[in-house]
Structure 1
Amino acid sequence: MGLLDQVLSGALGSRAGQQQGGSSPLMTALMALLSSGALSGAMGRQGAGGTGGLGDLLGGLTGGGNPGSMSMPGGGVGGLGGLIQSFQRAGHGDILQSWMGPDQNHEISPNQLGEAIGHGTVDDLSRQTGMERGDLLTELSRVLPGVVDRMTPHGRMPNDDEMAKW
């Protein structure tokens, strides 16, 4: 089990259990959300032509790699960097920053999370996982703070050397 698997599984706890034939819907949603494709609107393309899965996630966590394929509407990138930008644009940057810092993680409501990641992304994740929108946002609002917190143990975006260990 790699570091990224440990981060996601640790943050999900019992919710990380495998279902028949693959990952839990929540694990799938987290991986898709943190990959470059979810926030860039490329989720459909990823399923159609990309390899998907952990390789795409690792390449997209910080928004690195092929900049053309990771551009977001408004000029951002996908991955964790895109998530940060998305939260800032929605006016919830302080909440996400609390997850990265050493202090207590601020809570986020399902509605705030939906605003931050965008309705199109929520719809894509809902279709990909088979989870209802409300259930998806509720579960993500519970676990995403812990995932971001564990991905940023130094209170900042991981650098390339840190990412290479994943």
Structure 2
Amino acid sequence: MSGNPLGDLLGAILGGGGKSAAGGGSGAGGLLGSLLGALSSGGGGGGGGSGSNPLSQLFDMFAGPKAQPEVKEAAQSWVSTGENKPVSAEQLSQVLPTDAVHQAAEANGLTDDQALNELSKKLPEVVNEATPTGSVSDFDAVLSRFGLSGQKAA
């Protein structure tokens, strides 16, 4: 697949191997994997330090104490077993570090705006699929199932 284990995992979660409908790119799986890699390597000050996995680190940006109430509510809906609430590209741009978005976009042949638009569509779906029991602790189980537990994003 893409050579990015988290991108491959996210592509599998999304189905279809993560190929972009826009052509050429590595799709949402590759884009999310690139974003997780940028965040876990410290790109944008978004992560690295703690022992939590990259999916948990990303989710914490949306549902943590600094998140806007509407973004937090949307993120919590992705984990719950109910209907997913949407998040806009503009809301993502306010939550995600600009340099991490830029790094992920560039790695996938997209502009920052294109990346944010794609992420706004796919991020709720990925979090929802990665949390089948309605708990963020499911993230660890998902990574373990794909042999990625304890790994940083590539």
Measured at CA, do residues 6 and 133 of structure 1 come closer, stay the same or move farther in structure 2, by a change above 3 Å? closer
Matched, 1:150 2:152: no
Contact between 2:11 and 2:30, CA under 8 Å: does it hold in 1?
no
Q: Counterpart of 1:39?
A: 39
Aligned partner of residue 38 in structure 1, secondary structure: helix
1:78 and 1:160 map into 2 onto residues whose CA distance is 7
Q: Counterpart of 1:54?
A: none
1:138 and 1:18 map into 2 onto residues whose CA distance is 13
Aligned partner of residue 84 in structure 2, secondary structure: coil
Matched, 1:138 2:117: yes
Structure 1 residue 161: Cα displacement: 5.1
Matched, 1:86 2:91: no
Aligned partner letter, 2:88: S
1:117 and 1:103 map into 2 onto residues whose CA distance is 25
TM-score by length of structure 2 reads 0.68
Q: Counterpart of 1:8?
A: 11
Structure 1 residue 17: Cα displacement: 2.7
2:51 and 2:133 map into 1 onto residues whose CA distance is 23
Aligned partner letter, 1:143: K
1:39 and 1:97 map into 2 onto residues whose CA distance is 20
1:40 and 1:12 map into 2 onto residues whose CA distance is 24
1:94 and 1:163 map into 2 onto residues whose CA distance is 25
Aligned partner of residue 26 in structure 1, secondary structure: helix
Deviations, residues 104-149 of structure 1 (Å, cap 9, x unaligned): 1000000101112221211111221120111111111111111110
Q: Counterpart of 2:92?
A: 113
Unaligned 5+ runs, structure 1: 44-68
Q: Counterpart of 2:102?
A: 123
2:139 and 2:53 map into 1 onto residues whose CA distance is 16
CA RMSD of aligned residues (A): 3.5
